[in-house]
Amino acid sequence: MATTPDRPGCHALDASLIERLHAVQQRHGYLPRAELQQLAVAMQRPLSDVMGVASFYHLFRLVPPPLHRCVVCRGTACFVRGAERLEAGLRRRGVAFETASCVGACGQAPVLVLDGTVGCGDPGALPEP
Amino acid sequence: MKAAISWRCCDATSCRAAGAAALRQRLVAQHGVERVKSVGCLRLCGQGPLAAADHEDGRVELFGGVAAERQLDPEHPFFTLQRSVVLERCGLVDPGCLDDALAQGAYTALAACRQLAPKAVVEELERSGLRGRGGAGYPTGRKWQLVAAQPGSSKVVVCNADEGDPGAFMDRAVLEGDPHRLLEGMAIAAHAVGASEGFIYVRAEYPLAIERLRRAIAAAETRGVLAGFAIQLRIGAGAYVCGEETALLHSIEGGRGTPRPRPPYPAVSGLWGLPTLINNVETFAAVPAILRQGGAWYGAMGTATSKGTKVFALSGAITHTGLIEVEMGTSLRTIVETMGGGVPANPNGSLGVVKAVQTGGPSGGCVPAALLDTPVDYESLQALGSIMGSGGMVVIDESLAMPELARYFMGFCAAESCGKCLPCRAGTVQLEQLLDRFVERRATGADLVQLEQLCGMVKATSLCGLGQSAPNPVLSTLRFFRAEYEAAIAGAAP
């Protein structure tokens, strides 16, 4: 990416705490406490600031993620087409899942994201436990 | 049937979810890789994965399914009533290929603009009557003029690509299907207001859009088509409130995405205190066409106060789910019944009935079936207690009770409230608990009174748009479907 020399330092990518947190989460799958402390030192900001940002955003994880990740979309189209039944079905089967506000694949509603792959989560297609 | 000369395969998120990779593989095996091109959204997402076959005589065929087993009708009103301006290249151009975009006219409007004085560019935009497509509908030309009038040489152009409304995927289609269009629109804006730096704030839930934007920015900078205007990407981290402009700016600066009172407006003091122009994706994406064809051309479309075209994401209980771009002022009935094909038949064979159309997401409201002849423009929807919003349009059928829908949206707002101001932080939770009583049919008459009072309070006293508009789904369903709330009062006749 081209950088203009006169650009103030605060506009650079690595000056953004959120971008740095994304990088840490990319490496570890979550935000380990030690990394957050290091980040606070490196960016010369109090740890409370770093924690404040890390805990504000839904996508930052402060604990290690499970081996497989299942995300149920809670968008309106998914809601209208049975996302609540899908969630109930997963719960009945003891499947741990997260929720997302909308993944934007409303054409396939209700939608499920399994390890990053978006698919149609037809609640009727779930086998009973 | 003569063989098609080339195939266009939809490679957007929705079709990927339906198996676009398998369809593409099959087409490549049959016709050779040089005759299959990946493109953005082909509109009829519900029938995905989609592929279009272009014939020598100009005929276009459309197929759906992983084996292209369903032939679809390109002459259906769903396609013929569309008027593509923002989406003119989406579905035709390979979003990963700058050369293809250039061959289809990308960056010609930018090159032409550079020959014009910035003032002339702003005037052209004012002539077009374009209003902000993010939901609020502020006149775009006036906003540009405000930023252009600010002193100083350090200004910033920001694109709000934090499309958070559940049920909205218009911006995703532009980002995934024609990213160069957005870059061109932003570069034109930068020339018009005198900015040298740009940021695109994309939500992290759109990984494909992020990947396509990264490639597009790198290609455009390498080729020098942006002529020195530097665009950086900033990725969100899952906070709906960041769609609010002051919260978005805080988030780009790397902090918590909490809003602040306005004024000062970002046009005066935005990112790092610099004058900042913020528009959403669809607004920027309309700009190249306006500058190329003229503001008068754009202003000739639409209604007296809402000009041009608008992209809608049509979903929910509807036969044809997908993306449409229509002239402003098109009636909801045309969109839902003629284009969308209405509510699909029930499993028992009885006809599906439209109960309401929800527009504007958690900030909007429900237009009942009886008012489907309402033209879609900013003022008409507002008069009905809903809003245009960013363009999500979710069709509701008889199977869904309105208190349940209201609770769904209130739960969303309660979860997404940033917590900075009390009315929103506590009010949305209280409202959700009240709505629980209506859903579970154990409400009292006093609950109904309290529900309305609390809605008014949260609306009047919240700091930002999230809280101010959070009661809208409740108020609009109370207005048109009050009987459903009254029936939910304990002891009421079922």
Which band of pLDDT confidence, cut at 50, 70 and 90, is reported for residue A4?
very low
- Distance separating the N- and C-terminal Cα atoms of chain B: 59
Give me the mean pLDDT over the A87-93 stretch: 92
Among candidates B314, B318, B298, which has minimal Cα distance to B306? B298
Question: How far is CA B30 from its chain centroid?
Answer: 36
Per-residue buried b or exposed e for B352-375, using 16+ beta carbons within 10 Å of the residue's own CB: bebbbbbbbbbbbbbbbbebbebb
Give the nearest partner residue to A120 out of B17, B172, B358, using CB atoms: B17
Q: Which helix (H) or strand (E) holds A114?
A: strand A111-114
Contact B166 A75 (CB under 8 A): yes
The Cα B287–Cα B306 span in angstroms is: 16
Write down the pLDDT at residue B483: 96
Q: Is the pLDDT of residue A124 over 80?
A: no
Distance from CA of A109 to the nearest CA of B (A): 8
Q: Which of B45, B253, B396 sits opposite A107 (nearest CB)?
A: B45
Cβ distance A17 to B254 less than 8 Å, yes or no, reads yes
Question: Are the C-beta atoms of B128 and B188 separated by less than 8 Å?
Answer: no
Q: What confidence category does residue A128 fall into, taking pLDDT thresholds of 50, 70 and 90?
A: low
Q: Tell me, what's the pLDDT at B478?
A: 97
The pLDDT assigned to B493 comes to 60
Interface test with B, best of A108, A114, A117, A118 (most B CBs within 10 A): A108
- Which residue on chain A is closest to B396 by alpha carbon? A80
What confidence score (pLDDT) does residue A7 get?
46
Domain A1-64 fold: Arc Repressor Mutant, subunit A (1.10.10)
CB-nearest to B167 from A8, A59, A77 is A77
- pLDDT reading at A66 higher than 90: no
Residue ranges in chain B modelled with pLDDT below 50: 1
Per domain, the residue ranges of chain A are 1-64, 70-125
Closest approach of chain B CAs to the CA of A8, in angstroms?
A: 10
- Reply yes or no on whether the pLDDT at A6 is more than 70: no
Q: Residue A81 and residue B236: Cβ atoms within 8 Å? A: no
Say how far residue A9 (Cα) sits from the centre of its chain.
Answer: 28
CB nearest to B315's CB, from A1, A13, A106 = A106
Q: What average pLDDT does the segment A97-104 reach?
A: 85
Contact flag A119-B17 (C-beta cutoff 8 Å): yes
pLDDT at position A81: 87
pLDDT of residue B2: 57
Q: Would you tell me which residues 10-49 of chain A have a C-beta closer than 8 angstroms to some C-beta of chain B?
A: 10-11, 13, 15-19, 21-22, 49
* Residues facing residue B200 across a β-bridge: B159, B233
Whether B234 and A18 lie within 8 Å, measured CB to CB: yes
Which positions in chain B touch A7 (Cβ < 8 Å)? Answer: 197, 230
Q: How far is A13 from chain B (nearest CA, A)?
A: 8
Q: Contact, B10 vs B172, CB < 8 A? A: no
Cα separations (Å) of B288 from B108, B282, B327?
8, 11, 17
Kindly report, residue by residue over A18-52, the tens digit of the pLDDT.
999 999 999 999 999 999 999 999 999 999 999 99
Q: With contacts defined as CB-CB under 8 Å, which chain B residues touch A5?
A: none
- CA atoms of A62 and A52, how far apart (whole Å): 12
pLDDT of residue B56: 93
**What structural domains does chain B harbor?**
6-75 (3.40.30.10), 98-299 (3.40.50.11540), 309-397 (3.10.20.600), 402-490 (1.20.1440.230)
Chain B residues in contact with A10 by the CB 8 A cut-off are 253, 272
User: Do B17 and A18 count as a contact with CB atoms less than 8 A apart?
Assistant: no
* Residues of A whose CB is below 8 A from B416: 101
- For residue B218, the chain A residues in CB contact (below 8 A) are 1
* Chain B residues whose beta carbon lies within 8 Å of the beta carbon of residue A14: none
- Say which CATH architecture domain A70-125 belongs to: 3-Layer(aba) Sandwich (3.40)
